Amino acid sequence: MKSFGRTAVAGLIYLLVIFIFFHVYFGSFSTALIGPPEDNMQEFWNTWYMQTKLDADPSGLLHTDKIFYPEGASLVYHSFSYPNLVAIYLVRCVVGLGTDVGTLIFLHNFFLLISFFFGALGAYLLTRLYVRSEALAVLSGFIFGFSPFHLAHTLHHMHVSAITFVPFFVYFFLRYMREKKVYLAAAASVMWALAALSCWYYLVYIGYFVLFYYVFHAVKNRSLMPGETLLPAALITFFALFLLSPLIVTMILQTGARSYLEGHDFFVADLLGFITFHPYHLLAKIGRPLYSHFQGNHWEMTVYLGLANVAVLLFALFKKYCRKIENLGFFQAGILLFMLLALGSWLHVGGYRVWLPLPTLLTEYIPVLKNVRTPSRAVIFVYLFTGVSVAMIAEYFLAGRKKITAAAAVGILAIVTFADFFPTGLDSTPVVCPPAYALINEDRAGDFGMINLPAGYLQDNKYMMQQAACSPVPMANGSIGRKLAPSLIDTLDFSDFEAQKAELKRGGIKYILIHKKPADETVYYVHHDRHTHLHRLHREELAREMAAEYQRHYQLVHEDEMTALLQVYH
């Protein structure tokens, strides 16, 4: 009961931190998506699609013609965060909520933020296995649950930000290795499966952790340890894979050349990124001259560990007496391993490639594993082990000192880390429906689809969000994790309008919706506001020219400042 009370207090602290960090969103919690317009729009489509399918008919869940109409697309490789989406469905069923856009936005945002609570709580429980200090365990949970990595992906990716089950897996796994109780092994397997269903990257990274655990202890004990470690780890792995086998087998069967994308040497952590103020930091202006040269985008490059945490880790590394801390070496080795994995195929320092090959280079050539194309996400284990290590080092260093001195030191460390992780520049994406969608919805004359123009990665994400919020009419556009087969949008002729019209008719595309203010997919990759502004104006001018050109070949149904709706056939 005492343990439950301590855990409840820790949970309340994490809820308070969520409120402090993200209160800027609460005024528009059911009208705008957390994060700037990017992959979060696609993730909202995931929420809408899953809820409508579960409400109607879950069969055929992993193939849809709502996007890439009329052929449709396989969603086997798509970035569904299954546990979150099922949890949203269960909440709706229990409370009696529908699938109106306000409800879905609210629940989508809620489950993004609740991952901070459960992620931190899992890391807290893990740390309690190694430290007695309640305050340091809470701090460890904060370091993991509210890490800049987690924050950055919460603004963009529900599946990557679904970190909840990773610390719980490590907690149950390490407890099982200590206590050898069957229920702990079962819990570890279930947590691994749930982590994988949240984000397939975590299937692989947890696998790396299990392999690392075995190798570390085998080397340390100079024994293969078949009974003590190898067999238990193998059994936990087997049952986790068994639980996932229906999906994994389907994915393997559909794996082909189109399922592999590049990124192993682009979406990487820069070595200096671990100590550089990131784009969401209060002191981002100080870090910008450096991080602006890093590879990848802002959310994938964000691996900042916090200066105080790095200082504590380095202090322990160079102090011989810290080697006496039991189990610290294991977590330090884990930090090093997952840092190496996060750095990608080749080492990058300050944005420059150093021709030093790293472990990820090997996985680029291994079937299935080469799907893990954004190495920086391995930093999730760096944060987890950093939190535990900082707590262990601080407790050892403060042992035997006056209580007031120890409390003051922990308090200062906590305040510095809190300020170091406090986010700024938290944007949101208002969900707005152009009037043209209402006109499309009024058309009841049989089955048909639509196409949105101009097409492009970020634009297609926006169109998916608008399909979820504004009109369920299938569209030829789409944006998914892996497109395994071509569709109409890939072959459509944009140079010959007569040929194009014939293709659209054959494909059942009845409407063309031209968006005059397309999303700017390069705005996040340039670093001077003046250039960004000019670029956006240029794209709007092109879109308006497109609208004028298409009106000469298709019948205009509706036009306003936002869109031009054209009809292909009657």
What span, in angstroms and rounded, lies between the C-alpha atoms of 469 and 454? 19
pLDDT given at position 59: 86
Share of the chain above pLDDT 70, in %: 96
Could you tell me the two tokens for 366? 């291994």
pLDDT given at position 530: 38
For residues 289-295, average pLDDT: 94
How distant is the alpha carbon of residue 138 from its chain centre?
A: 24
pLDDT given at position 525: 28
- Model confidence pLDDT, tens digit, residues 340-351: 999 999 999 999
Could you tell me the two tokens for 385? 């082990």
What span, in angstroms and rounded, lies between the C-alpha atoms of 280 and 302? 9
Give the model's confidence band at 171: pLDDT under 50 very low, under 70 low, under 90 confident, else very high.
very high
pLDDT given at position 517: 81
- Model confidence pLDDT, tens digit, residues 235-290: 999 999 999 999 999 999 998 888 888 888 899 999 999 999 999 999 999 999 99
Q: Is 186 a residue whose pLDDT tops 60? A: yes
- Model confidence pLDDT, tens digit, residues 385-417: 999 999 999 999 999 889 999 999 999 999 999
Placement of tokens 């280079």 in the chain:
361
For residues 362-369, average pLDDT: 86
Give the model's confidence band at 519: pLDDT under 50 very low, under 70 low, under 90 confident, else very high.
low
pLDDT given at position 528: 34
pLDDT given at position 523: 32
Share of the chain above pLDDT 90, in %: 79
For residues 151-180, average pLDDT: 97
Whole-model pTM over 0.75: yes
> Do the beta carbons of residue 56 and residue 478 sit within 8 Å?
no
pLDDT given at position 263: 83
What span, in angstroms and rounded, lies between the C-alpha atoms of 536 and 539? 5
pLDDT given at position 154: 98
Give the model's confidence band at 537: pLDDT under 50 very low, under 70 low, under 90 confident, else very high.
very low
For residues 73-100, average pLDDT: 96
Tell me the chain's radius of gyration from C-alpha atoms.
25
Q: Is 177 a residue whose pLDDT tops 80? A: yes
For residues 189-206, average pLDDT: 98
- Model confidence pLDDT, tens digit, residues 22-62: 999 999 999 999 999 999 999 999 999 999 999 998 888 99
Give the model's confidence band at 533: pLDDT under 50 very low, under 70 low, under 90 confident, else very high.
very low
pLDDT given at position 170: 98
What percent of the chain is helix, strand and coil (3-state, nearest 5)? 60, 10, 30
pLDDT given at position 508: 96
pLDDT given at position 365: 87
DSSP 563: E
pLDDT given at position 540: 74
Q: Is 223 a residue whose pLDDT tops 90? A: no
For residues 304-327, average pLDDT: 90
Angle between helices 39-56 and 457-469 (to 10 degrees): 40
| Closest by CA position to 374, among listed 51, 213, 149 | 149
Average pLDDT, the chain: 92
For residues 194-207, average pLDDT: 97
Q: Is 532 a residue whose pLDDT tops 60? A: no
Phi-psi map region of 269: left, alpha, beta (phi>0 left; psi -120 to 50 alpha): beta
What span, in angstroms and rounded, lies between the C-alpha atoms of 13 and 235? 37
For residues 156-169, average pLDDT: 97
For residues 285-297, average pLDDT: 94
For residues 114-130, average pLDDT: 98
Is the model more confident about 95 or about 535? Answer: 95
- Of 6-20, 402-416, 534-548, the one with minimum mean pLDDT is 534-548
